[in-house]
Structure 1
Amino acid sequence: MNLAQSISVFAAGGFLLAGLLFGVWKYAQIASSPKAQASTYVDIAHRAALLYSFACLVVERFVVLSTLDATVELVAVLSVVGFFAFGLSSYVVHGILRDTDNQFARPHKLGRAELHPAVMVGSMVALVAGELGGFAVLFWGAISS
């Protein structure tokens, strides 16, 4: 197993474990809520972590199928997995802070602070480029073999 595969499998396990732990956090909020609901971003973090775990297994499979240089595959995997982690981290922060139920609503809140709209746009452009670009590279490597 090469390094890109190992990172993908490790990330799948890490995201699955995180998703299961976030499920406990979600349940604790549900159990203590008068409406039997967890906060929006705790719910999102739970679901996203579980989905990212399976997405990492798909990424690993495309590394196996790819005929690209190992360094190119590694950079693509780091990009995809890194931005999965970045997105999930933002959900966890909002879940802890309970500062919003929509991180895209203006003004963009982070705790008591307001983020400049350019920060959100820049973050989303980077995330789209990193996730989509990284997977597109692996997909190209697989279909061109």
Structure 2
Amino acid sequence: MDLIQLSAAVKIAIVFSGIYLWVGMLTGVWKYIQIRNSELARAHYYVDIAHRSSLLYAPATLILAVLAYFSALPATLNLAFVLINIGFFSFSILSYVLHGFLADTTNQFKTPHVIGKWYLPKALMTVAMIALVIGEVVATFGLLFGVIVKFWY
């Protein structure tokens, strides 16, 4: 029974919120296994970060769904804003999982930047982080702006 019509932006955000929650639970199991098998009772730094970030991105993505639902902006723009955030959230989680799996660093920003046996150019990390910051901040502001317009204008 479909009582409410939901836009693609809202539906996608809700689904990804659930995916991030599930990934948070799976990485929590991974973290626990590493803690149990560690002499220091610790998981790898990036296993812990993957676990925590997934659990934090789950409600953040649900908030994006709510903002998209109430936004006065066109549906395609809301969808773009949601997808930008989900893209960067997913990229972040995947990079944390990869670093946790490879156990190649405890600080992905320390130079030289590594992924397994490969070195990444410093410029690539800088561009990626600038894109992430601008993308997430602008996309979230766009959704918030759409809600403000709907509620107060």
The normalised TM-score by structure 2 is 0.93
Contact 2:45 / 2:100 at 8 angstroms: preserved in 1?
yes
**Distance (whole Å) between structure 2 residues aligned to residue 3 and residue 79 of structure 1:** 14
CA distance in 2, matches of 1:123, 1:96: 21
CA–CA distance in 2 between the matches of 1:92 and 1:126?
20
Distance between the aligned counterparts of 1:65 and 1:47, measured in 2? Answer: 28
Q: Paired residue for 2:102, among 97, 100, 107?
A: 97
Alignment equivalent of 2:140, drawn from 124, 135, 141: 135
Q: Which amino acid aligns with 1:109?
A: V
Which stretches in structure 2 are left out of the alignment for 5+ residues?
1-5
Runs of 5+ in structure 1 lacking a partner? none
Residue 31 of structure 2 is matched in structure 1 by 26
SS in 1 for 2:61: helix
Relative to the length of structure 1, the TM-score reads: 0.98
Q: Does 1:40 align with 2:48?
A: no
Is the Cα contact below 8 Å between 2:7 and 2:69 reproduced in 1?
A: no
TM-fit CA distance, 1:107: 0.8
How far the C-alpha of 1:114 sits from its partner, in A, is 1.1
The alignment covers a number of residue pairs equal to 145
Pairwise CA RMSD of aligned residues? 0.6
The correspondence of residues 1-145 of structure 1 with structure 2, limited to 5 A, is 1-145=6-150
CA distance in 1 between partners of 2:71 and 2:141 (Å) = 11
- Looking at CA atoms only, which structure, 1 or 2, has the larger radius of gyration? 2
- Taking every aligned residue pair, what percent have the same amino acid on both sides? 45
Aligned partner letter, 1:40: Y
> Which 4+ stretches in 1 moved above 3 angstroms?
none
Deviates more, 1:129-138 or 1:4-13: 129-138
